[in-house]
Amino acid sequence: MSKFFDNLETRSDDERAGDLSKLIPLQIENAKENSEAFGEILRTVDPTEVNSVEDLTKLPVLRKSELVRLQAENPPLGGLIAGSVQDLNQIFQSPGPIYEPGMVKKDWWRSARALNAAGIGKGDIVQNCFSYHFTPAGMLSEQGILAVGATVFPAGTGQTELQARAASEMGVTAYIGVPDFLQIILDKGDELGLDLSKVKKALVGGGPLFPKTRQNYKDRGIVCLQNYGTADLGNVAYETIADAPMIVDEGVIVEIVTPGTGDPVQEGEIGEVLVTTLNPDYPLIRFATGDLSAAAPGKSECGRTNMRIVGWRGRADQTTKIKGMFVRPEQVADLVARAPEIKKARVNVTRSENNDVMSVLLEIEGEPNKDYDSIVKEILKLKGEVQTVSTGTLPNDGKVIDDQRKFD
């Protein structure tokens, strides 16, 4: 297997800038002419005047709140795709709800680069533990696995004992999924006396990879790298060396800006990640992810030459990921609105034994009289410990989601 996925990864800065000077105006023109929403957003923009990364700062930022509004007004995709909904192969739904398009094209979400960098390719049997249900994560990963010539076991989430037995019996060599779930499978394998020693590679995403978790995998002879992406954009950046900055994918352009603005920050300064995708089917322009990161100086020792970012450094808002699933302030508001006796709610996120733990505190006026556990699971899409407290108990600090996890 080649070290590099293709020659794009090793271009000089001048070569990459020259290529982007042609691709950026073409994508702006595509979005303006073929996307109903971007036709309006970019109506005053001359595509020929936007031909560099620096020129992108002339354009408006598309925020997730705006995407949700557009989708509500023009369901299901807000007129943001280039073409019609009938041209799509798939439509997904992520918590929010937010809808995402999908196409059955080779590596449409561009996950193959990250898999290749993790050493995954022909001869590997990859246990894909991202969800195939509602969200695109499972299909996103599967396309990349097939693109690098590996064999996919579409395992999905949950069913830990079946996952461990299947991994042992199939001779699974690689894992892709959220960071914590591989440890759960390995622990179950140990409990059952199964041989999972063939698992040597892992590519994880959908949540933070904590140092202790990575070390646990290393102690078992598993090389674990991580990538960063979203359901809207696909793969955005990926590790090639453990604990080194992530390399930006060749199919996107990343800017780091002051949160809430479109103004670039200095290299090394933490800011919000804006992404412009070169995907002609879904031409998101200056899409604000809400994630925080920073541009890292210099080039990677691996030989790839694109921009690097330091990885995920939290959220610009209170949205967080728990067990690979986003939990948003709007969902907490829906929780409060579900029952008149709920006056306030707060989601706390901690870590215990290398796993995310969610607890939900509900301020109740009067006597609790509903199955609040079921309500929380329905709205937040996750199980957690639910506690009812009297009114006035929760701090008046504006927080509805308190992420208490330590990322160092």
Whether 191 and 231 map to the same domain: the answer is yes
Do 302 and 380 lie in a common domain?
no
Distance, in Å, from the CA atom of 213 to the CA atom of 402, rounded to the nearest integer, reads: 22
Same domain, 52 and 124: yes
Asked whether residue 258 is domain-assigned, the answer is no
Whether 268 is in a domain gets the answer no
Residue 2 domain-assigned (yes or no): no
Whether 110 maps to a domain, the answer reads yes
* Tens-place pLDDT, residues 93-133: 998 889 999 999 999 999 999 999 999 999 999 999 999 99
Host domain of residue 99: 7-251+278-285+297-315
Cα–Cα distance, 164 to 324 (Å, whole number): 20
Whether this model's pTM surpasses 0.75 = yes
Looking up tokens 């352009």 gives 253
Quick check: is 205 in a domain? yes
- Kindly state the helix (H) or strand (E) to which residue 189 belongs, with its residue range: helix 179-192
327 shares a domain with 237: no
Taking the C-alpha atoms of residue 334 and residue 100, their distance in angstroms, rounded to an integer, is 22
The answer as to whether 111 is a domain residue is: yes
In which band, very low, low, confident or very high, does the pLDDT at 83 lie, cut at 50, 70 and 90?
very high
- Please give the mean pLDDT across all residues of the chain: 93
Match 């994560």 to its residue by tokens: 137
- On whether residue 269 sits in a domain, the answer given is no
Total structural domains within the chain: 2
- Domain assignment of residue 391, yes or no: yes
Same domain assignment for residues 310 and 337: no
Q: Are 176 and 238 contacting, i.e. CB atoms less than 8 angstroms apart?
A: no
Q: What is the percent of the chain where pLDDT is above 70?
A: 99
Alpha helices in 35-79 (DSSP H): 36-41, 64-73
Tens digits of per-residue pLDDT, 48-62?
Answer: 999 999 999 999 999
Q: Are residues 92 and 124 in the same domain?
A: yes
